[in-house]
Amino acid sequence: MRSLVSFVLLLFTALVSALSSSGTRLLVVLDAVEEKDAYSTFFTDLVERGYEITYETPKSEGLSLFEHGERNYDHLIFLPSKIKGLGPNLTPNILLDFINAEGNILLTMSSTHSVPSSLVALLSELDVTLPSERTGSVVDHFHYDTISAAESHDVLVLSCPPNVRPGLKDYFQLPGTALTFPRAVGHVLGSGPLLTPILRAPPTAYSYNPKEQADVVDPEDLFAAGKQLALVSVIQALNSARFTILGSAEMLEDKWLEVQVARPQERPQYTSNREFWTSLTAWTFKELGVLRVNSIEHHIVGDDEINPGLYRVKNDVAYKISISEYAWRRWVPFTVPQGDSLQLEFSMLSPFERRDLVAESETHRETIFTTNFTLPDQHGIFNFKINYKRPFLTSLEEKNTVSVRHMAHDEWPRSYVISGAWPWLSGIGVTVVGFVAFSALWMYSQPVKKTSAGAKKTQ
Amino acid sequence: MTAKSQDLLAGVTAPKVRTLLRVVILFFIAGAAVSSRLFSVIRFESIIHEFDPWFNFRATKYLVANGFYKFWDWFDDRTWHPLGRVTGGTLYPGLMVTSGAIYHALRALTIPVDIRNICVLLAPAFSGLTAYATYLLTNEMTTSPSAGLLAAIFMGIAPGYISRSVAGSYDNEAIAIFLLVFTFFLWIKALKLGSMLWGALCALFYGYMVASWGGYAFITCLLPMHALVLICMGRYSTRLYVSYTTWYALGTLASMQIPFVGFLPVKTSEHMPALGIFGFLQLIGFIQYVRSAISGRQFQTFLVTLLVATFGLGLAGLVGLTSLGYIAPWGGRFYSLWDTGYAKIHIPIIASVSEHQPTAWPSFFFDLNFLIWLFPAGVYLCFQNLRDEHVFIVVYAMFGSYFAGVMVRLMLTLTPVVCVAAAIAVSQILDTYLSVKVPIVDETAASSTDSAPKKAKGGLRATEKPNVGIFNNLSKVVVTGAMTIYLLMFVTHCTWVTSNAYSSPSVVLASRLPDGSQHIIDDYREAYQWLRQNTKEDAKIMSWWDYGYQIGGMADRPTLVDNNTWNNTHIATVGKAMSSREEVSYPIMRQHEVDYVLVVFGGLLGYSGDDINKFLWMVRIAEGIWPDEVKERDFFTARGEYKVDHDATETMKNSLMYKMSYYNYNTLFPSGQAVDRVRGVRMPDQGPVLDTVEEAFTSENWIIRIYKVKDLDNVGRDHGAAAAFARGQKKKKIQKKRGARVLRVD
């Protein structure tokens, strides 16, 4: 009954609000519920976008991410906490289970709070390293805010950089604007393909521990500097669960919306923090960059049967896939980013064919990609495989298994069609005619006494 | 009926009564043959046995369900994943088509019989026919009326044949032995009569034989050998020419209709003797013709020139074509027939099959009992007459004995000739000692048989019949009595062997409880049933190839390799996955889309046919393809022992097979008490740790263990780290590394 209700509810939310493609239940974990007032614009924005926000402290008794093996929340926001561990309800294993159950997490940090050990352990599983002692502050003596941090240089003012590499969607690009990163904690990413930095510190920035390295930073003990130091990074697990690390929780606070910031020798300007966090939360909570395969069709060219399980070697095959992308409340046709291509593999152990799919047609909510090719001259169990895993986009892994059989005994061309067989065919004809003629001649010729019977037998 | 046999019983019974008696006896023999094969059904149940029969059964079901043409073009996508198997073109369809035909015939007669029952009972039914065919063959050899019947009953219950034809043993041999014997009978008949009709019939049954069993090569080589021996003995005749050329031409055409055989008869060395003798016979026939046409001195020159030219050209052609690759050289299986050590060194996959091992001496007695020592006597008696058909028995006996000595399973082809020869010997003894004749009658009979085939008197001089006989009643009674006892013992032995050694389905194991009652160990079917009910329809199962057919037949799940060992590399891949570390195995399993891994473990029960005991074969076969990655030496301790306990090598302990076999095994026992009952050793306290697979199922007696292959880690860790994290172990790398940092580049 309960599941039915929740299903109807889910259907209802999906139809009416249709905000996030993966649910609206949002849990915010913070030390005290009153702290949320500092972020009122941020949370108001989220509520306006349709999220049902629950605020809990890590110590709260009723806090539980799972109930009966099902997620209680779809999304999770961590605000900086003073608590060293996060208690038994938010152990790294539970958080990892939350990710494995396709829950999304936005983790914010601040150099004024040390990061809870539970989150450090989780991040180390994701191959993200934080400064030792769980604290660290990023400073930059060239890109600081001259108004608020003229002395400490720990409020960075950065322009939003382009994507780390071409061929990605431009969800986070805000050209010509400034972002502030007050009292940020930098982190270092491993080289895994699931990790993507969105905002890296400028080359002149470095991270230090204000308590222990207040006077001088020994290069040996330097945590990280320059572009190796990431301020905002995203991680997308293989099941498309999203995890965002925001180095500065303070940038979400209301106060940075009203004040102006200025880099050295530059004019003061308002920040675009709000635009940035909007796209960041939208991406993290799957309002952006969610791909959906509507249908896949493959068939023999000139044959009506759709998605047959059995092909023959050297068949001409047409493959068609329809993909939509979820962007801000609705499904729109998916367009492959510039410099990237969507590919189809026809593989058995290794790919026999790998082809770019071409966007053939586009309706208001789907793009249809197609390709045609001839099957290899190899029988076996093949997969039509789409393995499209890109940063910022949910993974597409579509595998349609088909068997490719050999030529049946009656599918070869008949011998009389092959011109090379004509000499042999005529040879057979001559032999048959000759044998019949000889037999006739033999039988109707004059019997020579009685030897004919014995002689005939030996032939 | 020849004169002699009529003499023997003249005045006692009329010929009609004797014929009736003979028919009744033959029916009784067939009944005995069938019923002694039903032990397996009575002891266990009506179930398909062992390994290969499961494939045949599955193929038969496919044939019955989809019809002949679908079967002919069958591409099987549920074996040899992901290569698939062109099953229709790589099997001998005779067996399945026979069962299918019987099934449809019974349907047409409105007798609804389950196809499984037909398959289970096909072998016993055909054993009755084999007995009859042996009767016919033996009757061609001797004039004694009892020899044929004796041969029939010998054939009917000889364990050497029963071993492959009990109820449920639904294998190619089930019908092939009947076809073998019947083809030989037709060949003898054709040769005796010089008849094109019998030759064509022989070719027809030869074609059926080719469609049924790979052992047809035995006929392909034996008939030309017989012809060659006859020619060398100076017994070339138009009868030989007609029968041989008819058989060869039609038989080869018939055999080439089977897709699996195809052009082999003109392309491989195994078939070359038949082709060579065919050509040789044409040559001899031509020479015979020329001799009648030209004078003696000219003929000498002609003959020498022709022979030298032909052999020179023929040999050069053969060598040339072989080296150019048109004719395949002798295959590995064939070499292993000459050098029993060959396979062990070069083709481990052949040597790993137990039935390809050389025969142990006791098994001759075990399988043939007293026939084995009557066999030489029977062959000796063939020398007494040594007509063309007796030469055949002699040649067959020689070749059959040799091959039976080389390979256990070829005992099967030896059994018919042993039965025939032994029956000739026994009947000779009985005829001699049970004779009520007076010497004068015997003399005339002997002279009359001698006078008829004047040519055939080329036998050994020592075997010429002396004019003696046994007329003492005491010696008659003693010898006859002894023979009767031997025959009775033979029947007892056969029954005992059949019921105890050859009736186990090997799918279920039987053991005795302390109180003597039978206890069935049914782990195999338990596990296969689990697979059938709990896994996805297309879940791929990786196991060693021995269990491939059973998984396909009983669990109905795709397998990577099976008992049709057509692709050595694919088997070696599985061997490599089993014998490597998890980090190496996992990508292989991913690439082959393996969902479950199945291992057989006998350590708890003391079941010695388990995978750890077969493990070295996996290693050897894998080493044959990847000598740098898998090394057999690494699985032996420094002292050269194969160990699984504390002393096991690191390679052994880290191999996937070892880990899967012994995973959690120590938890069954009190600490430090874990014992492997097969190897008889105490296991280490600390069991192996598995990261990339997780236990899914273990059968009641731990014989079958099934593991599920884990998916890739969701957040991109390697499995070792993920499993360590799940076990609660902290990451150790936190402390700062000195030296160059690993920088991220993008």
Q: Report yes or no on A210 lying in a domain.
A: yes
Chain A residues with CB under 8 Å of B744 CB are 188-191, 197, 228
Q: Which residues 22-61 on chain A approach chain B with CB closer than 8 angstroms?
A: none
Quick one: tokens of B678?
A: 């097969």
Chain A residues with CB under 8 Å of B715 CB are 96, 99, 125-126, 194, 235, 237-238
Quick one: tokens of A217?
A: 């930073």
CB nearest B591 (choices: A221, A349, A405): A349
Yes or no, beta carbons of B84 and A380 under 8 Å apart: yes
Q: Report yes or no on A206 lying in a domain.
A: yes
pLDDT per residue of chain A (459 residues) written in tens, 0 to 9:
455 555 554 444 444 444 777 888 999 998 888 888 889 999 999 998 889 999 988 888 888 899 888 999 999 999 998 888 888 888 899 999 999 999 999 999 988 888 888 899 899 889 898 887 777 888 888 888 888 878 888 888 888 778 888 888 888 888 778 888 888 899 999 888 899 999 888 889 988 888 777 777 777 778 888 888 999 999 999 999 999 999 988 889 888 888 888 888 888 888 888 888 899 999 999 998 899 999 999 999 988 899 999 999 999 999 999 999 998 888 999 999 988 999 999 999 999 999 999 999 988 889 999 999 999 999 999 999 999 999 899 999 999 999 999 999 888 898 889 999 999 999 999 999 999 999 999 888 877 666 544 444 444
Contact criterion met (CB below 8 Å) for A280 and A172: yes
Min Cα separation A241/chain B (Å): 9
Best mutation site among B714, B719, B736 for testing chain A: the one with the most A CBs within 10 Å? Answer: B714
pLDDT for B5 equals 46
Three-state DSSP at B625 gives helix
Residues A356 and A219 in one domain: no
Q: Tell me the C-alpha to C-alpha distance, in Å, between residue B205 and each of A133, B170, B183.
A: 87, 20, 6
What total number of domains does chain A contain?
Answer: 2
Q: Are strands A195-200 and A316-327 parallel, antiparallel or unpaired?
A: unpaired
Residues A163 and A309 in one domain: no
Residues A280 and A160 in one domain: yes
B606 φ/ψ sector (left φ>0, alpha ψ -120 to 50, else beta): left
CATH number of the domain residue A389 falls in: 2.70.50.30
Contact criterion met (CB below 8 Å) for A207 and A248: no
Residues A207 and A276 in one domain: yes
3-state helix, strand, coil in chain B (%, to 5): 65, 5, 30
Residues of B with CB under 8 A from a CB of A: 69, 72-73, 75, 77, 81-84, 86, 89, 194, 196, 238, 241-242, 259, 285, 538, 591-592, 712-717, 721, 725-726, 728, 730-731, 734, 736, 738, 741-746
| CB contact burial B496-534 (16+ within 10 A = b; e otherwise) | ebbeeebbbbebbbeeeeeeeeeeebbbbbbbbebbeee
Q: Report yes or no on A429 lying in a domain.
A: no
Average pLDDT over residues B413-441: 82
Chain A residues with CB under 8 Å of B560 CB are none
Residues A214 and A108 in one domain: yes
Q: Is B329 exposed, middle or buried (0-12, 13-18, 19+ CB in 10 A)?
A: exposed
Yes or no, beta carbons of A191 and B742 under 8 Å apart: yes
Which chain A residue shows the shortest CA-CA distance from B196? A457
Contacts of A390 (CB under 8 A, 6+ apart): A167, A168, A169, A337, A340
Segment holding B433, helix H or strand E: helix B411-433
Which chain B residue shows the shortest CA-CA distance from A399? B593
Residues A216 and A129 in one domain: yes
Chain B residues with CB under 8 Å of A228 CB are 741, 743-744
Phi, psi of B17 (to 5 degrees): -65, -40
Pairwise CA distance, residues A439 & A459, whole Å: 11
Report the percent of chain B where pLDDT is more than 70. 88
> Which of the four pLDDT bands, split at 50, 70 and 90, describes residue B467?
low
Contacts of B271 (CB under 8 A, 6+ apart): B217, B220, B264, B265
User: Mind listing the pLDDT tens digit for each residue in B557-578?
Assistant: 999 998 887 888 999 999 999 9
Yes or no, beta carbons of B717 and A124 under 8 Å apart: no
Residues A176 and A54 in one domain: yes
Q: What is the 3-state secondary structure (H, E, C) of B483-500?
A: HHHHHHHHHHHHHHHHHH
Three-state DSSP at B317 gives helix
Residue owning tokens 């055989």? B261
Chain CA centroid to CA B157, Å: 18
User: Mind listing the pLDDT tens digit for each residue in B124-133?
Assistant: 999 999 999 9
Q: Report yes or no on A454 lying in a domain.
A: no
Quick one: tokens of B294?
A: 């030209």
Nearest to A251 by CA among A223, A264, A232: A232
End-to-end CA distance of chain A: 90
User: Mind listing the pLDDT tens digit for each residue in A227-242?
Assistant: 889 999 999 999 999 9
Residues A259 and A332 in one domain: no
| DSSP state letters, A365-418 | S-EEEEEEEEPPS--EEEEEEEEE--TTS--EEEEEEEEEE---TTSSPPGGGS
Residues A192 and A333 in one domain: no
Residue owning tokens 């399973």? B409
Which chain A residue shows the shortest CA-CA distance from B730? A121
| Residue at which a domain ends, from A405, A428, A448 | A405
> Which of the four pLDDT bands, split at 50, 70 and 90, describes residue B446?
very low
| Residue at which a domain ends, from A258, A284, A310 | A284
| Residue at which a domain ends, from A357, A383, A405 | A405
Q: Tell me the C-alpha to C-alpha distance, in Å, between residue B743 and each of A188, A206, A245, B257.
A: 9, 15, 19, 66
Q: Report yes or no on A53 lying in a domain.
A: yes
Q: Report yes or no on A370 lying in a domain.
A: yes
Contact criterion met (CB below 8 Å) for B119 and B48: yes
Min Cα separation A245/chain B (Å): 15
Q: Report yes or no on A445 lying in a domain.
A: no
Higher pLDDT, B18 or B204: B204
ipTM value, please give it.
Answer: 0.85
Segment holding A26, helix H or strand E: strand A25-29
Min Cα separation B48/chain A (Å): 29
Q: pLDDT at residue B2 above 60?
A: no
User: Mind listing the pLDDT tens digit for each residue in B493-551?
Assistant: 999 998 888 888 888 887 777 887 888 888 999 999 999 999 999 899 999 998 999 99
Yes or no, beta carbons of A237 and B73 under 8 Å apart: no
Chain CA centroid to CA A14, Å: 22
Residues A192 and A112 in one domain: yes
pLDDT for B452 equals 42
Q: Touching check for A453 and chain B: CB below 8 Å?
A: no
Residues A376 and A358 in one domain: yes
Chain B residues with CB under 8 Å of A406 CB are 73, 75, 86, 89
Domain, as residue range, for A241: 25-284
Which chain B residue shows the shortest CA-CA distance from A350? B591
CATH number of the domain residue A268 falls in: 3.40.50
Q: Tell me the C-alpha to C-alpha distance, in Å, between residue A452 and each of A446, A455, B433, B478, B516.
A: 10, 5, 50, 58, 77
Q: Report yes or no on A257 lying in a domain.
A: yes
Helices (H), B592-715: 611-625, 650-654, 656-662
Yes or no, beta carbons of A380 and B82 under 8 Å apart: yes
Residues A214 and A360 in one domain: no
Provide the mean pLDDT of chain A: 86
Chain B residues with CB under 8 Å of A98 CB are none
End-to-end CA distance of chain B: 98
pLDDT for B11 equals 53
> What amino acid is encoded at B520 in this protein?
I
